[in-house]
Homo-oligomer: A and B are copies of this chain.
Amino acid sequence: MMKDIPYTFNISAATGLPDSWDRHYERRLSSMKGQFEDTAAMEAMIAENEPVLYEVYELKRPEVAGELLHGVSVIRPGQVGNEYFMTKGHFHSLLETAEVYYCLQGEGMMVMETPEGDWNVQLFAPGTVLYVPPRWAHRSVNTGKDEDLILLFVYPGDAGHDYGTIEIQGFRKLVIEKDGEVKIVDNPRWVSPERRFV
């Protein structure tokens, strides 16, 4: 068994990226089908060049209580129609688990909601610490013009990810550009929890 010793990695001041990690993956637009409102714009972008929406750099730890999973996510600038690039977004499988984010670079928002349909949006700028309490699904959105949104994240080892609920109808709120400004608007496809299974 490998000895389990403390370790560090460093966030480059120049790039905002970590200098070491165990796993890196990219999420492309084609794996986000149904998540953007403007499906025609989405299909056209997929046909043209399949852009990367975001990347994640993860450190590997045992996925058990007491451990803290951590890494850096990088959301690219861009839009699908008038909707900003964003992460897939999820609840934690173990719903009663929190997450802490620290914004290293860029500007954006975290769009959040509970299973009961409460919603909340918080702003990111460099130096912002965000606390996502237990029960809140969360999705990062890059509202910047040209710059990556780069976030350090920490969450409990046993949290897990539940993407399914969000995949069905997205979040209650969308973040779009309208008249050159960032707007938070209702997602027309979203159905309130009490009407969802009627």
Contacts and interface: CB of A to CB of B under 8 A. Distances in A.
Contacts of A49: none
Copies in the complex: 2
Contacts of A131: 6-8, 59, 61, 68, 70
Contacts of A61: 98, 131, 133
A134 interface: yes
B154 A68 contact: yes
A6 B68 contact: no
Nearest to A70: B100
Interface string A59-79: 101000111101000000000
Contacts of A155: 68
A160 to B, nearest CB: 12
